[in-house]
Structure 1
Amino acid sequence: MKTRAITGFFFIIVMVGAMLLGDAVFLGFFSLLSAWCLYEFYGIVSSEDRRPSKALGILTTVVLFSTTALYSLGIFEAKYILLCIPFLLAIYIQALYQKRDFPFNDIGFTILGILYVGFPFYCFTRLGYIGGSFNHFLPLGFMILLWTSDTGAYLAGRSLGKHKLFERISPKKTWEGFIGGIVLAVLVSLCLAHYFETIPQWQWIIVAMIIAVFGTLGDLVESMLKRSLNVKDSGHILPGHGGLLDRFDGLLIAGPLVYLFLFLVN
């Protein structure tokens, strides 16, 4: 427990620092973070029947992040973001030369990794540019609400939890914890609305609800993935926590939905 707490404390400091030190650091840090999470995903799904193209999958995601970052920094035009398309199509072409019995298993899991891991992180980084220019308040607020929701769910579930949420996937999660996570996230969103005035209060409340609900579902989806593959952790890079993908499973569904909501209303 001590190791877990120390690791979590320093990792949060690094993450918050990356968001506060400007858009170049923010984009670079989360580009590397998404690449590592994608590497972990490919590692846990790989088997004799499934050999995703790790190099091309990660390269496609990095190119997407890099071109978008250069556009956001005013170095590239928006059209250069389309440079990721040749790398995406190369996934199909590469399979022609590998002489595998089930090549579309490999292709499917390679592309699934980009959609399941790379794209959500991409949406998360775009939160920093909702207002047109970089502002760290939205991505920082997102992470605060995600952590708050997890904390509320843990506390409510531990003290009040009786009714299982998805016992087949995660025996410890309860409806009481789920509701507790939503309530605490909404309460914290009211505080964020007071200090982080990038978006109005009603939008912060909806963002909190999206994160609390779909962050929990994202956690369950990743648990379902690991159970189906008989894997406990996605990796071992964080002592006491497992892999990075395990720590960001809540972002994988909530991130794109929060970005979609704010993109449409702003």
Structure 2
Amino acid sequence: MKTRAITGFFFIIVMVGSVLLGHNAFGAFYLILSLLCLHEFYGLNIKSGLQPNRASGFVNAIFIYSIFAVMVYHDRPIYHSLLFLLTLTFSAIFIQELFKITVAPLTNIAYTILGLIFVTVPFTFFHALAFINGPFNFHYPLAFLLMLWANDTGAYLVGMNFGRTKLFERHSPKKTWEGFIGGVVISGGVGYLISLYFPELDWKHWVSVGILISFFGTLGDLIESMFKRSINVKDSGGILPGHGGLLDRFDGFLLAAPIVYTYLYFVVNV
């Protein structure tokens, strides 16, 4: 427990610091995180007997993240043309499979692309949160992280003390409806507190974001649990002592980030 607490403390410091240090540090840090998470995802696939095309997968991950990062930094038509480079990098996923001797080439291709959709795309959306209303604004990604952590903490504490009714026992035996509701309430409460300091949105929208993070964050957690149980693995990795892998820490993040960005995009741009 002590190791877990120390690791969690320093991890939060690094995460918050990356948001506060400006758009260059922010962009670079979350690109690295996305690649590490993709590495764990492909590693889990390999443990299950698959052979995803990791080299072309990493190349595509870097291109997807970087191209969209440039587009949000500088919203000019010339940068949008960079999207056509993805036709070349995506072709590499299929071409690489030609040089491998495997019994399920299409399955390997499919899981390579799935990693990009499941891991890289959410990090791309999270990065774009900081530019949703123009210039770099750390309030949006920082608020997202605070509400995500509030949900996780609230669900854990309420579930541990009052949890009785299983939420989805087949995939996550420890999660309860009481914990889920506790996470929603606490995350929404943190959203309201954020509205007092971050005036970009009305309190109703910040609370709505907190509820969305709780709902889709929990679903993301369940989806990753389903995936790990299907290959009989407890943790996605061991990079974080006491916490497992990065995917274990970002499971809720992966589903919630695109949903929150979509919600805020329409709220901010009405």
What is the TM-score normalised by the length of structure 2? 0.95
Partner of residue 91, structure 1: 93
Q: Whole-Å Cα distance in 2 between the matches of residues 59 and 117 of structure 1?
A: 14
- 1:102 is displaced (CA, Å) by 1.1
% identity of equivalent residues: 50
C-alpha separation between the residues in 2 aligned to 1:85 and 1:258? 28
> In the alignment, what sits opposite 2:221?
219
Displacement of 1:200 in angstroms is 1.9
In structure 1, the residue matched to 2:15 is 15
- The equivalent residue for 1:243 is 245
Distance 2:100 2:167 in 1: 43
| 8 Å CA contact 1:24, 1:73 repeated in 2 | no
Match of 2:27 in 1: 27
**Match in the other structure for 2:46:** 46
Determine if contact 1:49/1:102 at 8 Å carries over to the other structure.
no
Asked if residue 234 in structure 1 is aligned to residue 248 in structure 2, the reply is no
Q: What is the rounded CA distance, in whole Å, between the counterparts of 2:121 and 2:238 in structure 1? A: 23
Q: How far 1:250 sits from its partner (Å)?
A: 0.5
| Structure 2 counterpart of 1:42, one-letter code | Y
In the alignment, residue 170 of structure 1 is paired with which amino acid?
A: S
Give the counterpart letter for 2:225 in structure 1.
S
Cα distance change, pair 48–138 in 1 and its aligned pair in 2 (3 A): closer
Asked whether the equivalents of residues 150 and 183 of structure 2 are also in contact (C-alpha less than 8 Å), the reply is yes
**Shift in Å at residue 49 of structure 1?**
4.3
Cα distance, 1:83 vs. partner? 2.0
Task: State the one-letter code of the partner of 1:55.
Answer: A
1:5 corresponds in structure 2 to 5
Distance 1:27 1:158 in 2: 36
* Contact persistence 1:170–1:220 (CA under 8 A): yes
Q: How far does the alpha carbon of each residue in 1:47-80 deviate from its partner, in whole angstroms, 9 at most, with x for none?
A: 5741001111111011122223334444972321
**Matches of residues 125-204 of structure 1 in structure 2 within 5 Å?**
125-204=127-206
Q: What pairs up with 1:243-262 in 2 under 5 angstroms?
A: 243-262=245-264
- Once residues 226 and 61 of structure 1 are traced to their aligned partners in structure 2, the CA distance between those partners, rounded to angstroms, is 22
CA contact (8 A) 1:163 1:175 kept: yes
Q: For the aligned residues, what is the CA RMSD?
A: 1.5
Query: What is the TM-score normalised by the length of structure 1?
Result: 0.96
Give the letter for the 1:56 counterpart.
Answer: S
1:70 corresponds to: 70
Q: Tell me which residue corresponds to 2:120.
A: 118
Give the number of aligned pairs: 266
Taking the aligned partners of 2:121 and 2:140, their CA distance within structure 1 comes to 18
Q: Which amino acid aligns with 1:85?
A: T
What is the identity, as a one-letter code, of the residue corresponding to 1:93?
I
Structure 1: 4+ residue segments shifted above 3 A:
70-76
In the alignment, residue 254 of structure 1 is paired with which amino acid?
Answer: A
The structural deviation recorded for 1:158 is: 1.1
Contact 2:166 2:177 (8 Å CA) reproduced: yes
Give the aligned partner of residue 106 of structure 1. 108
Unaligned 5+ runs, structure 1: none
Secondary structure, aligned partner of 1:171: strand
Distance 2:48 2:199 in 1: 51
Write out per-residue CA displacement over residues 216-252 of structure 1, whole angstroms, 9 at most, x where no aligned residue: 1100100110000111111111111111111000011
